[in-house]
Amino acid sequence: MRPIPEFKIGPIPLLSAIRFARDPLRFLRQGFDQCGDTFKIRLFREFIVTRDPAFFRHVLQQHHKNFKKGNSVKLLRPVLGNGLVISDGDFWLRQRRLVQPAFHRERLHELFATMGELTAAFLEELEQFRGKPAVDIDAKMMGITSDIALKTLFGNMNTEDKEQIYQQVSRTQTYLVTRVRKPYRLPLMAINGEDRRFKSDLAYFNSLVYDFIGKRRLSGETPNDLLQLLLDSKDEETGEQMNDEQIRDEAITMFAAGHETSATGLSWLLWELAAQPDIVARIRKESEIFDNVPGFEQLIQMPYTRQVIEEGLRLYPPAWTMTRESTVDQEIEGYGIPKGSSVFMSIFELHRNPNLWNNPGAFNPENFQAETVKNRAKFNYLPFGAGPRICIGQQFALMEMQLVLAALVKRFDFVREPGATVGMHPQIVLKSTNGIKLYVR
Ligand code: HEM
């Protein structure tokens, strides 16, 4: 077996950990430039880092049973409980079977009407910013995707609760990412109020969700939302249903996994399109088939818009990395991978791997022309992961992004501020460094 090259910037692992925490994308790029598509690195512990599609295929599909979710994802457990993103083994499989029917095509078709109504209202809201100073696009996209997530999940929710949730989600993410990347700050967080704040945010959120579940069980109503599907779903063999805690975990998981990812994807797309008038013109041409917002059946008649979205998810994959832990000694691509190894799969680098893509840094929707896609190996492009744990919300997200993007581009011009640049700042999702601001015209 061949040894895995090690990426080292000096004798002290803490230095690497600090450099990684400061700018993970740059740091990992240096590793790939120096060592090739797979290397190991010692941060607080050792990771095997890869952008090799054969590795992704082995871990996610061919030998997925030899892996479990990595330690870093487990740090989300206080929030996500034992929901799909976190759980493993038989429990995960049972939950996946229970939740899967909520995302069947007919169900999505039903949820689409809600998405369309919210998008139409969002267009009116954005009208107020036409011709005004540049708008915080990240905040606006978070607004529409969390409105969609909350309403498709829970039905109606009052504005005060919604506002609370927006703020708490962003605080909670910063808190959790800090705990993972800067463990040396843990003692400080215990005394400076950050731990307390996190606990009170979580308690508020839990009481809100349990309240929704309780009221729904009592109401006897069966509206068409994801909560109801979770409440109704039954194990085909045993007839067993989920208890309140499992429903809470799956509902929060869907909310957490499902809104910031799409919001970030949309923000990056609007940023790119602000510099791509030819692509905008082609989207507008396709958008002639609808008036205000597209209908469900019309999405399929807008293949170019779909290509643009897929290219956005290539260049700026919101879920920029996946991690797994090896549960057995095994061999991948000639490398020995001992039991207990942490494998860090960079989707960001897979999608920009110069061995797989021509001119990988350029935004080029032709990468997703039907013929090109047919000739490309499946594991070169994985914005939603792959194998049995592929994103359960993939079709939901693609449909939502296509709806919102087409409606926005048809109605408005988005323009960059003179000289504006944005950097990438990967948290749990791939955010921008200082936010994306654009004029709405
Ligand atoms: C652009 C938007 C989205 C992106 C890029 C994305 C990406 C991903 C990726 C890469 C995974 C696999 C993680 C892994 O294997 O470690 C995943 C899993 C998951 N996603 Fe998404 N996602 C998006 C939207 C959504 C939406 C809208 C929902 C729900 C409404 C959702 C719910 C989930 C869940 C529950 C899992 C865990 C599945 C399992 O392990 O069985 N995601 N997502």
CA distance linking residue 168 with residue 287, whole number of Å:
36
Mean pLDDT of the 6-31 span: 86
Give the percent of the chain with pLDDT over 90: 80
Q: What is the DSSP string of 148-161?
A: HHHHHHHS---HHH
Domains held by the chain: number: 1
Task: Tell me which H or E stretch contains 323.
Answer: strand 321-326
Identify whether 5 is part of a domain: no
pTM (2 d.p.): 0.95
Identify whether 3 is part of a domain: no
The phi and psi torsions of 98 (rounded to 5 degrees) equal: -70, -35
Identify whether 151 is part of a domain: yes
CA distance linking residue 232 with residue 243, whole number of Å:
11
Identify whether 8 is part of a domain: no
Whichever domain contains 268, its CATH number is 1.10.630.10
Identify whether 375 is part of a domain: yes
pLDDT at 93: 95
pLDDT, tens digit (0-9, with 9 covering 90-100), for 149-161: 999 999 888 888 8
The phi and psi torsions of 18 (rounded to 5 degrees) equal: -70, -45
406: nearest Cα among 319, 317, 298, 313: 298
Closest approach atom of ligand 1 to CA 96: 41
Number of other CB atoms surrounding residue 395 within 10 Å: 15
User: Are the CB atoms for 309 and 402 separated by under 8 Å?
Assistant: yes
Expressed in angstroms and rounded, the spacing between residue 389 Cα and the centre of ligand 1 is: 9
Cβ partners under 8 Å of residue 4, min gap 6: 38, 39, 40, 48, 335, 336
Structure-derived torsion over alpha carbons of residues 24, 29, 30, 36, reported in degrees to the nearest 10:
130
CA distance linking residue 335 with residue 52, whole number of Å:
12
Nearest CA to ligand 1 atom 43: 391
User: Are the CB atoms for 379 and 401 separated by under 8 Å?
Assistant: no
Per-residue DSSP letter, 9: S
Our mutation pick for probing the ligand 1 site, out of 227, 343, 389, 391, counting the most ligand atoms within 8 A of Cβ, is 391
pLDDT, tens digit (0-9, with 9 covering 90-100), for 58-99: 999 999 999 999 877 878 888 999 999 999 999 999 999 999
Pocket of ligand 1 (CB under 6 A): 84-85, 96, 253-254, 257-258, 261-262, 265, 318-319, 322, 383-385, 389, 391-393, 396-397
What pairs with residue 135 in β-bridges? 438
CA distance linking residue 100 with residue 115, whole number of Å:
20
Give the residue numbers spanning the domain of 105: 13-440
Nearest CA to ligand 1 atom 1: 262
CA–CA–CA angle 162, 221, 169 (5° rounding):
20
Identify whether 379 is part of a domain: yes
pLDDT, tens digit (0-9, with 9 covering 90-100), for 371-420: 999 999 999 999 999 999 999 999 999 999 999 999 999 999 999 999 99
Identify whether 229 is part of a domain: yes
Closest approach atom of ligand 1 to CA 388: 41
What pairs with residue 67 in β-bridges? 326
CA–CA–CA angle 435, 319, 70 (5° rounding):
130
Q: Which amino acid is at 155?
A: G
> For 101-105, which contacts have Cβ atoms below 8 Å and span 24 or more sequence positions?
101/229, 101/233, 102/226, 102/229, 102/230, 102/233, 103/392, 103/393, 103/395, 103/396, 105/395
Expressed in angstroms and rounded, the spacing between residue 151 Cα and the centre of ligand 1 is: 18
Identify whether 6 is part of a domain: no
